[in-house]
């Protein structure tokens, strides 16, 4: 099978067509994530400077509670709409596409309204009985109003993603939301409002994003408003697929936030604020795999549905190698310059550097196995993923309970790192067991060798460079690391497939 690409002006094989679609989408998504990360990082630095680690910790605890509520409110439909809109649009079935979008958004809106009321009513119990921090109550009450907007926004953005485009998700989630948020925070601070004003700004930005997301869904799929097309609602199929994912997504969030929540229970709000800056910084490494997964996931679903396992395996290998190759330099920057990076938040935040290194290592392992979770989900093994998450979440809770009282932030990071590594290797084995495919090939060693050489040189350079200005030191050493890494890859020579991918990345 071949396809003519208008952008490149060349005939592409089916494999090249898939690679072109993925990497062009990744370029858009990753650009948005980098912009989003810089804005949000500036947002966190701004909050840290304006309110200090204690109030920052209160804000983060409230944010975590609202994220858990959002997972429960969305009922797994953000993944369900991604799967079925992708399948139905590929079949040209507009009636079922319309039904999947309308039913998913409608159910999630109703569910999120119910959860918002429950969160508002239960805010005092959570703040006083669970976290023992009375000032958290008002923050949770304001966050409750944001829940319906954020939940519907994420479902609608998944619908746009199902049409194999990430442009609109980037515009809404990675540009509009963070820019609007940071502008509103500055305004509410200048107006004399405290942390409550920051939370209100968060809610308003999601209200704007919900309207914008709906506009983009209609732009991609005008038949949503076409009265001549009657929506076919396959609610049972959506629920049957999505329901197990409620717990999967909830447990995934547990994996992400168990350490922060238990640190908030056992230790001070200031420690939560410091530790969460390490969590946010380490999460930069995940942006690469998240960008690839965003566009790779619907492609997995289509290839598996057509029984093209050989092509799926080749894509899996290529995508994983690039995920690892792009994540490795980020990991090296974060770990080598951990203390300097955290110093931007304030002198006291440097205490989180060991935690940052441990978490970064776990995220690098996550990158090294590729999109194994979504391969399992899109290959109809979502129940395997569910039981994986149940087991590893229990492991994570037990390890955090064991480590945090004695080791504090470092204990939380160590426990979480172990759990992340364990779950990734379990899913890697399951992908091989179920599909007899794996993501590795000899060319995987090229970025690994480049990373080792770059790390050795930069570690030596760090000892020689004695600049006290952290910004200058970070910029120079980061540039040095990237230059050496790229130089080693060029010496090892790129194959035809890599050259094709680079060609796609250079296209406008």
**Tokens representing 117?**
């009321």
Given a cut of 50, is residue 104 above it in pLDDT? yes
Measured CA distances, 334 to 329, 357, 363 (Å):
9, 7, 11
The number of residues making up the chain comes to 508
pLDDT digits (tens, 9 = 90+) for 364-376: 999 999 889 888 8
Residues 6+ apart with CB under 8 A from 92: none
Give mean pLDDT, residues 134-151. Answer: 87
Residue 474 — very low, low, confident or very high, per pLDDT cuts 50/70/90? confident
| pLDDT at site 246 | 76
Q: Which residue has the higher pLDDT, 376 or 191?
A: 376
Interval 338-356: pLDDT, tens? 888 888 777 778 888 999 9
More confident residue, 174 or 456: 456
3-state secondary structure (DSSP) of residue 438 = coil
- Examine the pLDDT at 249 and tell me if it is beyond 80: no
What does the pLDDT read at residue 8?
42
pLDDT at 373: 85
List, for residues 289-334, the tens digit of each pLDDT value. Answer: 887 887 777 778 778 877 888 888 888 888 898 899 889 999 999 9
Mean pLDDT of 143-154: 90
Model confidence at 64, in pLDDT bands (50, 70, 90)?
confident
Over 60: is that where the pLDDT of 242 sits?
A: yes
Between 115 and 380, the more confident residue is 115
Residue 245 has pLDDT above 80, yes or no: no
Name the range with the highest mean pLDDT among 14-18, 249-253, 302-306, 487-491.
487-491
**pLDDT, position 414:** 95
214-251 in b/e burial notation, b at 16+ Cβ within 10 A? bebbeebbeebeeeeeebebbeeebeebbbbbbbbbbb
Whether residue 508 is predicted with pLDDT greater than 50 in this model: the reply is no
pLDDT band at 13 (very low <50, low <70, confident <90, very high): low
Across the chain, which distance is largest between two alpha carbons, in Å? 71
Do 320 and 371 touch, CB atoms closer than 8 A?
A: yes
Contact of 470 with 347, CB cutoff 8 Å: no
- Domain boundaries in the chain? 2-440, 442-508
Contact indicator for 54, 346 with CB cutoff of 8 Å: no
Per the CB < 8 A criterion, the answer to whether 108 and 136 are in contact is no
**Residue 213 to residue 105: CA distance in whole angstroms:** 11
Q: Which of 7-16, 51-60, 453-462 has the highest mean pLDDT?
A: 453-462
Confidence grade of residue 112 (pLDDT, cut at 50, 70, 90): very high
- CA-nearest of 155, 172, 149, 154 to 100 is 155
pLDDT exceeds cutoff 80 at 498: no
Instruction: For residue 466, name the pLDDT band (cuts at 50, 70, 90).
Output: low
Please write the tens of the pLDDT for every residue from 72-96. Answer: 888 888 878 887 887 887 777 888 8
Please state, in angstroms and rounded to a whole number, the distance separating the CA atoms of residues 251 and 419: 12
Q: Which residue has the higher pLDDT, 221 or 16?
A: 221
The pLDDT mean for the chain works out to: 82
Q: State the CB neighbour count (10 A cutoff) for residue 429.
A: 13
Q: pLDDT tens digits for 391-441?
A: 888 999 999 999 999 899 999 999 999 999 999 999 999 999 988 888 888
pLDDT at 44 over 90: no
């Amino acid at each position: 099978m071949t396809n003519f690409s208008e952008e490149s002006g060349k005939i592409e094989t089916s494999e090249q067509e898939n690679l072109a679609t993925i990497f062009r989408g990744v370029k858009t998504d990753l650009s948005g994530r980098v912009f989003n990360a810089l804005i949000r990082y500036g947002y966190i630095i701004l909050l840290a400077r304006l309110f200090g680690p204690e109030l920052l910790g209160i804000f983060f605890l409230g944010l975590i509670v609202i994220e858990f509520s959002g997972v429960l409110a969305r009922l797994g439909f953000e993944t369900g709409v991604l799967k079925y809109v992708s399948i139905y649009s590929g079949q040209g079935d507009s009636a079922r596409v319309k039904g999947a979008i309308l039913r998913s958004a409608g159910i999630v809106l109703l569910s999120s309204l119910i959860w918002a009321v429950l969160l508002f009513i239960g805010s005092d119990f959570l703040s006083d009985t669970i976290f023992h921090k009375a000032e958290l109550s008002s923050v949770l009450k304001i966050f409750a109003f944001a829940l319906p907007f954020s939940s519907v926004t994420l479902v609608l953005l998944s619908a746009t993603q199902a049409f194999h485009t990430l442009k609109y998700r980037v515009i809404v989630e990675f540009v509009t939301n963070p820019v609007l948020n940071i502008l509103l925070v500055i305004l509410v601070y200048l107006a004399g409002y405290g942390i409550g004003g920051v939370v209100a700004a968060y809610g308003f930005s999601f209200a704007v994003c919900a309207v914008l997301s709906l506009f983009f869904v209609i732009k991609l799929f005008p038949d949503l408003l076409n009265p001549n097309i009657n929506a076919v609602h396959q609610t049972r199929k959506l629920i049957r697929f999505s329901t197990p994912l409620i717990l999967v997504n909830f447990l995934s969030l547990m994996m992400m936030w168990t350490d922060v929540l238990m640190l908030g229970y056992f230790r001070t709000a200031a420690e939560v604020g410091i530790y969460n800056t390490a969590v946010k910084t380490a999460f930069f490494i995940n942006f690469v795999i998240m960008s690839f997964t965003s566009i790779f996931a619907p492609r997995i679903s289509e290839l598996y549905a057509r029984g093209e396992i050989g092509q799926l395996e080749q894509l899996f290998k290529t995508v994983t190698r690039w995920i690892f190759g792009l994540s490795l330099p980020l990991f090296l920057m974060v770990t080598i310059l951990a203390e300097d990076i955290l110093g931007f938040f304030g002198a006291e935040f440097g205490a989180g550097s060991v935690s940052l290194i441990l978490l970064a290592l776990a995220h690098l392992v996550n990158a090294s196995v590729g999109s194994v979770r979504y391969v399992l989900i899109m290959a109809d093994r979502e129940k395997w993923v569910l039981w994986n998450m149940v087991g590893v979440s229990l492991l994570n809770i037990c390890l955090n309970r064991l480590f945090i009282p004695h080791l504090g932030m470092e204990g939380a990071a160590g426990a979480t790192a172990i759990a992340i590594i364990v779950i990734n290797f379990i899913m890697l084995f399951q992908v091989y067991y179920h599909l007899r495919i794996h993501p590795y090939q000899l060319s995987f060693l090229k970025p690994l060798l480049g990373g080792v050489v770059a790390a050795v040189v930069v570690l030596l350079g760090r000892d020689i460079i004695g600049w006290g200005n952290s910004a200058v030191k970070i910029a120079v050493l980061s540039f040095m690391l990237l230059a050496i890494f790229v130089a080693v890859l060029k010496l090892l020579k790129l194959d035809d497939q890599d050259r094709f991918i680079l060609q796609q990345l250079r296209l406008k």
